[in-house]
Amino acid sequence: MLRKLVLLIGALCMSASLNAAPTAFAQTGPALSVLPNGLKVLVQRDTRFPLVSLRLYVHAGSAFEQPEQAGISHLLEHMVFKGSEHRAAGQVAEDVEGAGGYLNASTSFDYTVYKIDVPAERIELGLDVLKDMTFGASIDPEELEREKKVVLAELERGEDSPTSRLFQSIQPMLWKGTPYAWPIIGYRDTVSAITRDNIRNYVARHYQPQSMLAVVCGDVNEADALALVEKYFGELRNDVTITPKQPLPLPENGGPRYAVAKGPWNKAYVALAFPLPSLHSDDVPGLDLLSHMLGGDDTSRLYRRFKYELGLVDSISAFSMTLDQAGMLYVSAVLDADKLEKFWTELHATLAALGADSFTDGELRRARLNLEDSLYSSKETIGGLTSKIGYFQFFENGVDAEDRYISRMEAVDRAELGRLIATYISPESMCVAVQLPDNGDEPQKVEASLAAAVNKAWPGTTAKRHADAAGSRGDTETIDLGNGHSVILQPDGTLPYTSITLVYGGGDALLFPDEQGLAALTANALTKGAGNLSAPQYEDFLSDRAAGISASVGRDMFAVSARYPSRFESDMLGLFANTLNAPTFADEEVDRARTEQVAGIRASEDQPLGLAFRRMFPFLFTGSGYGYLHEGLPEELSRFGAKEVKDFWSRQARQRWTLCVCGSFDREAILALANDIAAKGKAEPFVFPTPEWNADRQLELKLAERNQSHIIVVFPVPGSDSAETAGLDLLRQTLAGQGGLLFRELRDRQGLGYTVTAFLWQAPNTGLMAFYIGTYPDKMEQAMQGFRDTVAALHADTLPADVVDRARNLLHGDYYREHQSLSSRSREAAWQSIRGYALDHNRKLIDEAQTITPEALRELSQKYLDWDRAYVITVEP
């Protein structure tokens, strides 16, 4: 595969070819000029045909989007054909095609390119249309809504393709946390939400002359062509500073990662990808050669082995895709599902055996020849030549970039290939996607089989070592240390990372009334130095290991957590122990933590919701830590120094705790850590308190010069020990979210506010269900009536079956989405254990909710959504 190939998957992506030798038909080389506004203009004279080809490249592809506007680049590409300042919808195409020309546009990850080919004598028409469509698109709202439907239909077509699904499954695994993780075409919800103003703001931000390249190629005079480009584009101005994007580092090793799914397919579709550097790397020419020899054509290693010799696949290919910030080596195959296991085993035997001697000199020469031949063929057409020289100039900033690429490719030998294989072909960085027929094996079973084959084929790799050390996912072990403390081990060798959560009973519940805020201050100061490490040294120690340790406190618990790459286990367990056993609590660090806490209080009270939630629990409860101001009062915090923090920590550290470890770890090392922490002595008993509800039921708060009012209505409900917890959570889910009853009625139908929801909070012995809306001051009475009407409807009638089904599905989906990370799983297990619940307590609640009937939900609403017992909190301007 060529260096510049960009996949046509899920959206229109441009495939730009490369070339080898200078062209004989171009009278001169391409001439580069820069207009005063920063627009680069590349002109290539070529008189083979009476044609001229125009390209306008813009640094504005999907990699420049915000997550909430994914797909806006591609949608804009559609809209430029739907009318402009000077042309009605459809006239853009009519003008160009009426002159015997051709026009198109395409969007990729890193750029959008607009293309017009016209007879040479109509170059000025071509430039006029190019300028009009890109900078004068009208973005008519009605046309926009129609074109959204077109894009969504295009998106759906992509979802109908198993190969598209493969690639889109690979993206978030390989490029997590970057804009490359989402499809160029975007998602249904993001595309549907894009507005005319969104698009205009996007154009204003990214369509700057300084970040664009105009290319003119064909039967033109160079000086005349440059003058015409300046005539149409020279008046444009830059009004935004553009900072060029930099290549991303290669993802940390943490593989293999798998995404196995079933679909309405007849075949099995398999893809695996290895991260590569960006197109600016010196390694790219060699990687192009390597990918071509692996699977670039019918002579390639993988094709000969699996299609020709073994007959295991219908097709197989490999190519390197290098983008402006990142890249991948992508191998894909189509085969019968019953051949998957054998194919996968043989494939990894082949990949694991690759080395410097895997390819002959003859294979290397053949690959160079074929790549150069395909590069040369791009110059057969004026449009192909225009795209080639434009792409090189746009991304590699030089008309000689092609020559540098060819020279570098010629220098690659077998020793270089061996280095590239060792550097980039590893199961530790591999991402795998499989689409199976619906009548095939279950995805979990297939994934386990794939993983086992990888571990067997690549002996000695980190992937295998961690799998051997940690055991299979889900083999949980609970160990009672016999002194009130316990340890939970959740081995998961999927990633070479470890998450630790240690949870004590206590928190605010251990405070006296005049100590409000002290537990929070202790948590803030706990990780600011330990043992012989000062606070800066402590932070440096963690940063040097890409690790983190944090402390948090609640109204009845205190938690300390750590997450780190497993290779730093010894260092991190030592620091974790020192954090608990020997925190420094230096005077200056406690002072700094107190200053930060006061600043946090002030900031939260600047926000209506921050103020409401800060005051909510002291308003609702009395007689325990549940009714305290969690972060205290600023004027009272000044009484707390290092001595008070140390005294509280001494109290807190004597409480019983549960330590949970999830990920890849050494069992004996974890138990040694637990015993070291437990050496302080037998744990003191901790009983979760039962707070009293206050008598006052109305809290009115004021924040001057705010635009909105906020209402929180609180209904007392039983705590998490109650047998009704599953039903209460299901009831909450029917009300919450964008599809919930409150949102649909008060926001969508009545337009009373932007955010409307419901939430459930439970301690073991008490709980609350609350309705929330942010509304307009003159709509408060209507909003309150909307809440009352919703409750009355819940009392009077059973919920429709589809509403309850939606809630059940969301409970199930949200639970697993929120518990994918190692940290979330270690935290959940520790919290459940300290409360005395089984480790599968939450999952059982989800299962129980699947059987709760609409009539049971009606009874719960009648029992607990009682306006005579409700508490109302308002924040008004």
Give the pLDDT confidence of 339-359 residue by residue, as tens digits.
Answer: 999 999 999 999 999 988 888
Using alpha carbons, select from 238, 233, 184, 230 the residue that is nearest to residue 207: 238
Residue 14: pLDDT band by 50, 70, 90 thresholds? Answer: very low
Coarse DSSP helix, strand, coil percentages of the chain, rounded to the nearest 5 percent = 50, 20, 30
Cα separation of 103 and 97, whole Å? 8
- The confidence score (pLDDT) of residue 201 equals 94
- Smallest Cα–Cα separation from 491: which of 673, 658, 659, 661? 661
Residue type at position 730: L
712, 876 contact by CB (below 8 A): no
Per the confidence metrics, is the pTM higher than 0.75?
A: no
Q: Write the DSSP string, 240-307.
A: S--PPP-PPPPPPP---EEEEEEES-SSEEEEEEEEE--TTSTTHHHHHHHHHHHHTSTTSHHIIIII
Reply yes or no on whether the pLDDT at 37 is more than 90. Answer: yes
Residues 6+ apart with CB under 8 A from 348: 427, 453, 454, 457, 458
CA gap 342, 350 in Å, rounded: 12
What is residue 41's predicted lDDT score, i.e. its pLDDT?
96
| Separation between Cα atoms, residue 5 and residue 291, nearest integer Å | 12
Half-sphere CA count of 347, side-chain side, radius 13 A: 32
CB-CB neighbours of 60 under 10 Å: 24
Secondary structure class of 308 (helix, strand, coil): helix
The whole-angstrom separation of Cα 727 and Cα 250 is 46
Strand 871-876 relative to strand 698-702, pairing: parallel
Q: Looking at residues 17-44, what average pLDDT do you find?
A: 70
Q: What is 115-165 written as a DSSP string? A: EEEEEGGGHHHHHHHHHHHHH-B---HHHHHHHHHHHHHHHHHHHT-HHHH
Which segment, 222-226, 265-269, 418-422, 738-742, is predicted with the most confidence on average?
Answer: 222-226
In this predicted structure, what is the pLDDT of residue 764?
94
Helix (H) or strand (E) holding 422, with range, is helix 414-424
Rounded to an integer, what distance in angstroms lies between the CA atom of residue 230 and that of residue 40? 10
Q: At 820, is the pLDDT very low, low, confident or very high (cuts 50, 70, 90)?
A: low
661-692 as b/e: b if 16+ CB within 10 A: bbbbbbbeebbebbebbbeeeebeebebbebe
The burial class, CB within 10 Å (0-12 / 13-18 / 19+), for 843 is middle
Share of the chain above pLDDT 70, in %: 93
Strand partners, 503: 559, 658
Q: Dmax of the chain from CA atoms?
A: 92
Mean pLDDT of 387-400: 84
- Residue-level pLDDT at 463: 39
The pair of structure tokens assigned to 50 is 């009476």
Mean pLDDT, residues 758-776:
94
What's the pLDDT at 615?
Answer: 96
- The yes/no answer on whether domain 16-58+114-137+163-174+210-457 falls in CATH 3.40.50.720 is no
| Overall CATH class of domain 697-876 | alpha beta
**What is the spatial distance between Cα 715 and Cα 731, in angstroms, rounded to a whole number?**
13
Q: In what helix (H) or strand (E) does residue 385 lie, and over which residues does it extend?
A: helix 382-396
Residue 277: the pLDDT is 92
- Residues facing 113 on adjacent strands: 57, 106
Q: What is the pLDDT of residue 317?
A: 95
Tokens linked to 351: 């990949």
731: pLDDT strictly greater than 50: yes
Residue 546 confidence (pLDDT)? 77
pLDDT digits (tens, 9 = 90+) for 467-506: 333 333 447 899 998 888 999 999 987 667 899 999 999 9
> 66-70, long-range: CB within 8 Å, 24+ apart, which pairs?
67/179, 67/182, 67/190, 68/190, 68/193, 69/186, 69/190, 69/193, 69/194, 69/198, 69/202, 70/179, 70/182, 70/183, 70/186, 70/187, 70/190, 70/191
* Cβ atoms of 321 and 332 closer than 8 Å: no
Which range, of 206-210, 820-824, 861-865, averages the lowest pLDDT?
820-824
Q: How confident is the model at residue 375 (pLDDT cuts 50, 70, 90)?
A: low
CATH number of 477-678: 3.30.830.10
CA distances to 181, 348, 428, 783 from 255, in Å: 17, 14, 4, 50
For 293, list phi and psi in degrees, rounded to 5. Answer: -70, -30
Residue spans in the chain of domains classed CATH 3.30.830.10: 16-58+114-137+163-174+210-457, 477-678, 697-876
Average pLDDT over residues 82-107: 86
Please give the angle made by the CA atoms of 650, 655 and 658, to the nearest 5 degrees: 125
Mean pLDDT, to the nearest integer, of 505-531?
96
pLDDT band at 1 (very low <50, low <70, confident <90, very high): very low
**Average pLDDT score, the chain:** 88
The DSSP output letter for 107 is E
Q: How many CB atoms lie within 10 A of CB 256?
A: 25
- What's the N-to-C CA distance of the chain in angstroms? 62
pLDDT tens track for 617-647: 999 999 789 999 999 999 999 999 999 999 9
- Residue 273: predicted pLDDT: 95
Q: Return the structure tokens found at 493.
A: 């060798």
